[in-house]
């Protein structure tokens, strides 16, 4: 193919150069002169004709396919690196590097890992399509319906999270492990609800931690019969003392709702930002590794920055007093369940200082104090004659 090229020719006489080209039927265009050098476009097949007449001629540019080939040769290393980098990125982004099954049942977890392996969901395996995942979920649920109620396989980058709900197997038989119901802490009994066993204590009795309230030991008179599984709930009045200090001037941080996601590559310990870099000291940061290739020294990391603002509070002594009460109440309420509550409270000590207030508060709390201990096997104390 006769392609165009751009040449530079040394000639002091422009008219002579043009005449030569015309006489020899050499097509040319874009003839420009700078000093004694002329640049022009010609067809490649005419290059040798011109070279016979003008020794000082040089190709300075190509057009069409030759130009592309020359550009590729010149940037060969760059293109190879780009293609290799894109290939690695594709492989990394379509490879499973982590599988997390969220259950505390280790036996079921091992079983699910084996099931996933059968369907090629495994570490360093290929990421599946949505349709493939849906089909795999249905098959695993069908094959394990006696263990699983619900199953979800979620993809997070190059990680699969497996969420599940175990099937609850109803067991109508009561536990036959002999046990006593005891107090979990020192308390004043306020309510006893026994469904099995012998009640040894009454409401308003004081009990120490570990003391038996509902016994699983059954007697007929002084004669031991057997031990059973005692059951029930006991609520008591429990006591706490809370010491709280509130300064008249203090600073708190408040989330402002802004979140910055910073993505970066860590290569042999060197961090290289992709995008989202944001320098601030006013943030709570959490990092998550999206891709981890230890043998390449490569990691892709997302750093989540939740921004916050500092807010200064200046309060009066009365406001500090109320804030101390509020904080003390909160420290107690955070420990309680829905059926538990504060019965009463009393300020034992109120210390007003130049920069802060300090309160010591006594609480009476209605709390579930139910605990249990197993009964050791009874040895026969007497023999029949």
Whole-structure pTM value: 0.45
Assigned architecture for domain 98-166: Roll (3.10)
4-73 falls under which CATH superfamily? ACT domain (3.30.70.260)
pLDDT of residue 293: 67
The torsion of the CA quartet 231, 235, 236, 239, rounded to 10 degrees, works out to 110
pLDDT of res. 206: 96
Of 127, 141, 63, 64, nearest in space to 96 by CA: 127
CB 183 within 8 A of CB 146: no
Length of the chain: 385
- pLDDT per residue over 310-326, tens digit each? 788 888 989 999 999 99
> Tell me, what's the pLDDT at 249?
87
* Separation of alpha carbons 129 and 134, rounded Å: 9
Q: What angle do CA 87, 88, 91 make, to 5 degrees?
A: 85
Residue ranges in the chain assigned as alpha helix (H): 14-23, 47-53, 65-74, 76-93, 106-118, 130-143, 317-333
Q: Which residues pair with 266 in a beta bridge?
A: 271, 299
Provide CATH 3.30.70.260 ranges for the chain: 4-73
- Per-residue pLDDT at 237 exceeds 90: yes
pLDDT of residue 202: 94
- Whether 381 has a pLDDT exceeding 50, the answer reads no
Residue 80 burial by Cβ neighbours in a 10 Å radius (0-12, 13-18, 19+): exposed
Between 374 and 377, the higher pLDDT residue? 374
pLDDT tens column, 43-57: 888 888 888 889 889
**What is the DSSP annotation of 346-360?**
EEEEEEE-SSEEEEE
CA distance 93 to 298: 13
Distances (CA, A) of 213 to 204, 237, 365, 376: 12, 15, 19, 17
CA distance linking residue 88 with residue 307, whole number of Å: 34
Q: Considering only 93-107, 156-170, 253-267, 318-332, which range has the smallest mean pLDDT?
A: 156-170
Going along 127-186, which residue ranges are E strands? 148-156, 159-166, 179-183
Residue 31 pLDDT greater than 60, yes or no: yes
Residue 106 has pLDDT above 90, yes or no: no
Provide the token pair at 164: 């599940």
Summarize pLDDT for 323-375 with one digit per residue, the tens: 999 999 999 999 999 899 999 999 999 998 889 999 999 999 999 999 999 98
> Is a pLDDT exceeding 80 seen at residue 273?
yes
- For residue 191, pLDDT over 90 is answered with yes
Give me the long-range contacts of 268-272 (CB less than 8 A, separation at least 24): 268/297, 269/297
CATH 3.10.20 segments of the chain: 98-166
Q: Where does the pLDDT of residue 67 fall: very low under 50, low under 70, confident under 90, or very high at 90 and above?
A: low
Strand partners, 283: 307
Distance CA 364, CA 188 (A): 10
Rounded CA gap, 204 and 171, in Å? Answer: 36
């Amino acid at each position: 193919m006769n392609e165009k090229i751009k040449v530079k020719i040394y000639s002091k006489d422009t008219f002579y150069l043009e005449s030569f080209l015309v006489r020899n039927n050499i097509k040319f265009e874009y003839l420009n002169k700078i000093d004694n050098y002329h640049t022009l476009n010609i067809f490649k097949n005419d290059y040798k004709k011109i070279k016979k007449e003008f020794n000082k001629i040089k190709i300075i540019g190509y057009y069409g396919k030759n130009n592309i080939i020359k550009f590729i040769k010149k940037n060969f290393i760059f293109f190879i690196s780009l293609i290799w980098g894109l290939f690695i990125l594709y492989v990394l982004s379509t490879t499973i590097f982590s599988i997390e099954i969220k259950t505390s049942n280790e036996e079921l977890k091992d079983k699910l890992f084996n099931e996933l392996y059968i369907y090629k969901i495994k570490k360093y395996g290929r990421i599946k399509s949505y349709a493939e995942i849906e089909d795999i979920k249905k098959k695993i649920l069908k094959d394990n319906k006696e263990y699983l109620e619900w199953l979800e396989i979620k993809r997070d980058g190059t990680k699969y999270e497996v969420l599940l709900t175990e099937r609850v197997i109803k067991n109508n038989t009561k536990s036959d492990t002999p046990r006593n119901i005891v107090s979990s802490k020192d308390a004043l009994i306020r309510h006893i609800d026994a469904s099995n066993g012998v009640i040894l204590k009454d409401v308003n009795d004081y009990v120490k931690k570990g003391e038996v309230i509902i016994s699983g030991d059954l007697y007929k008179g002084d004669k031991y019969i057997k031990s059973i599984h005692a059951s029930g709930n006991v609520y008591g009045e429990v006591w706490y003392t809370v010491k709280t200090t509130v300064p008249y001037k203090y600073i708190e941080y408040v989330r402002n709702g802004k979140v910055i996601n910073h993505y970066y590559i860590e290569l042999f310990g060197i961090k290289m930002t992709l995008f989202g870099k944001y320098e601030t000291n006013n943030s709570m940061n959490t990092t998550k590794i999206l891709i981890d290739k230890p043998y390449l020294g490569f990691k892709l990391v997302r750093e989540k920055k939740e921004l916050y603002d500092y807010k200064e509070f200046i309060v009066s002594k009365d406001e500090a007093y109320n804030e101390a009460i509020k904080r003390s109440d909160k420290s107690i309420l955070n420990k309680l369940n829905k059926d538990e509550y504060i019965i009463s409270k009393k300020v034992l000590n109120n210390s007003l200082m130049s920069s802060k207030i300090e309160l010591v508060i006594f609480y009476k709390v209605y709390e579930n104090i139910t605990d249990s201990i197993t009964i050791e096997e009874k040895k026969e104390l007497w023999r029949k004659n």
